[in-house]
Amino acid sequence: LHGRRCGCCGAETKHALLPAACGVVLEIGAGHGHSCKYLDTTRVTRYIALEPSIEMHKHIPANAVKAGFEPAQIQMISCSAEETEKILEALGGEQVDTLVSILGLCGIPDVKKSVAVLTDKVLKLGGVFLFYEHVRCDSSPTLAWWQAVWTPICEPILGCRLDKPTHHIIDALDIWEDRKLEGKVPEEPPNLFWHRYRKKL
């Protein structure tokens, strides 16, 4: 993660996905903390922002408070999703109820390893994992080719790979009760910024 976020995630999708979060929530690549406003503060007891860019940290508390959280409910961890030992140390051995990633996984080199460790050691057994990511477009070889062409240009700017099959990498992990993949709400035709999302409940 490089502290850069793409603005391609629609509010409709966040409305559909994030209300499922509950208890202690850890967001991977929290950015400025804009996702807070889509969380149900009657169900979420604490918001933990995992964000390696210290520059982003000054915005997170303000956005979380604006969303309805008390300052005591907000925690920031300044490391990436790959630094699992630092995350566990910052949590003091506590596990979280919900793991959230909104466009935060496509910039991680080894997604499989990072997510496997996070869901095994950081997320409570039976917890909730919500993700919404840029992924390679499976339904159109032409679009997949263009994603591969544009990725070297977009990656330095947005910090993500448009052609990464993140959904398939995560799908291979044995952590799902419901393997139904969904797309942006409302669903859009295949495009360069193709997205998939999933809930583990």
* Cis geometry, peptide bond prior to residue 71 (ω within 30 degrees of 0): no
Structural domain contains residue 6: no
Structural domain contains residue 57: yes
pLDDT of 70-90, one tens digit each?
A: 999 999 999 989 898 899 999
pLDDT at 1 over 90: no
Structural domain contains residue 186: yes
For residue 115, the tally of other CB atoms under 10 A from its CB is 24
Structural domain contains residue 54: yes
Residue ranges with strand state E in 64-190: 74-77, 96-102, 123-134
Structural domain contains residue 5: no
What pTM was computed for the model? 0.79
pLDDT of 136-150, one tens digit each?
A: 777 778 887 877 887
For the chain, how many structural domains are there in total? 1
Structural domain contains residue 187: yes
Task: Determine the average pLDDT of the residues in 179-194.
Answer: 50
Structural domain contains residue 1: no
Q: Would you state the structure tokens that stand for residue 35, as one six-digit string?
A: 């996702």
CATH number, domain containing residue 193: 3.40.50.150
Structural domain contains residue 3: no
Residue numbers of the domain that contains 130: 11-200
